[in-house]
Chains A and B, each alone.
Chain A
Amino acid sequence: NAGVTQTPKFQVLKTGQSMTLQCAQDMNHEYMSWYRQDPGMGLRLIHYSVGAGITDQGEVPNGYNVSRSTTEDFPLRLLSAAPSQTSVYFCASSSSRNTEAFFGQGTRLTVV
C-alpha cells in the first residue's frame, strides 16, 4: 500500500537550474496539493488540484508550475531555482474536500 510517493527524497540545485519534483498517489484521490515547510513557519500551500486538468494557486505559487494530466500524478516544476526555494516540499492527497489528507515523505531541496 504505497499511498503518496515523492521523488527524489533529496536534491541539490544550483541557482537558475530547473527541475521537477514528482508526486504520485495510488488511492484514486481527486484532490492533490503541494506544500513547502520552512523552519518556524509551518506548511504553506503552493499549488492545488481538484482533478485532472484543474489546478489553482495557493499562498506561495511564484516560481513554481504545476499541471495535472492524470488522477495519479501531480508534478511540481521549479522554473529557475533560487536560494529562497530551499525548503522541504510535501505532496498531499485526499479523496474529497472534507476528508483526511495523506502526505508523502517529503523532498528536501537545497538551492546553492
Chain B
Amino acid sequence: KQEVTQIPAALSVPEGENLVLNCSFTDSAIYNLQWFRQDPGKGLTSLLLIQSSQREQTSGRLNASLDKSSGRSTLYIAASQPGDSATYLCAVAVDSWGKLQFGAGTQVVVTP
C-alpha cells in the first residue's frame, strides 16, 4: 500500500526566508503528484501538479520537483510572506483512475 509522508509536521520561518517542504512516498509507480494548500477551516487549493514523466513544475514563487526513483518531491516557496502561512499537503495519484493518497501535511507559519 502506498504511504505518503511529510516531514516536518510543522515549520516556522521569518518573512523573506525560502521555504522547503518535503514529501516522500513508498511506491514509485505513481501517475502524478499534486501539492495543495489548505487554510484553516477551508478546502484544499491545488498549487502544482507534476506528471509522472516530469521532473519539476513552476508557478510564480513556487517550484516543485519530483524524483520518482527515490520517492521524493520537494516544494520550494521563494521569499516567503505571512500570507503563505497555511498547511501544505502533497498527494500522489495511485492508479489510472487518479485516486489520491495524501500525506498528513506540513503546517507553515511565516512570521513578520
Contacts and interface: CB of A to CB of B under 8 A. Distances in A.
Interface of A: 4, 31, 33, 35, 40-45, 48, 50, 56, 58, 90, 92, 94, 96-106
B43 A90 contact: yes
A6 to B, nearest CB: 8
Given A41-B104, A43-B102, A105 B42 contact: yes
Tell me the dominant secondary structure on chain B's binding face: strand
Given A42-B102, A45-B99, A94-B98, 6 more contacts: A45-B101, A50-B97, A98-B98, A101-B34, A101-B100, A103-B43
Contacts of B43: 4, 90, 103-106
B31 A97 contact: yes
A39 to B, nearest CB: 9
A112 B14 CA distance: 41
A90 B44 CA distance: 9
Chain A at the B interface: SS class: strand
Contacts of B96: 97
A92 B38 CA distance: 14
Contacts of A31: 97-98
B31 A101 contact: no
Given A40-B104, A42-B103, A97 B42 contact: no
19 contacts: A4-B43, A33-B100, A35-B100, A35-B102, A40-B104, A42-B103, A42-B104, A45-B100, A48-B97, A90-B44, A97-B31, A98-B32, A98-B51, A100-B46, A101-B98, A102-B46, A103-B36, A103-B44, A103-B45
A31 B99 CA distance: 10
Contacts of A101: 34, 44, 46, 91, 98, 100
Contacts of A97: 31, 93, 96-98
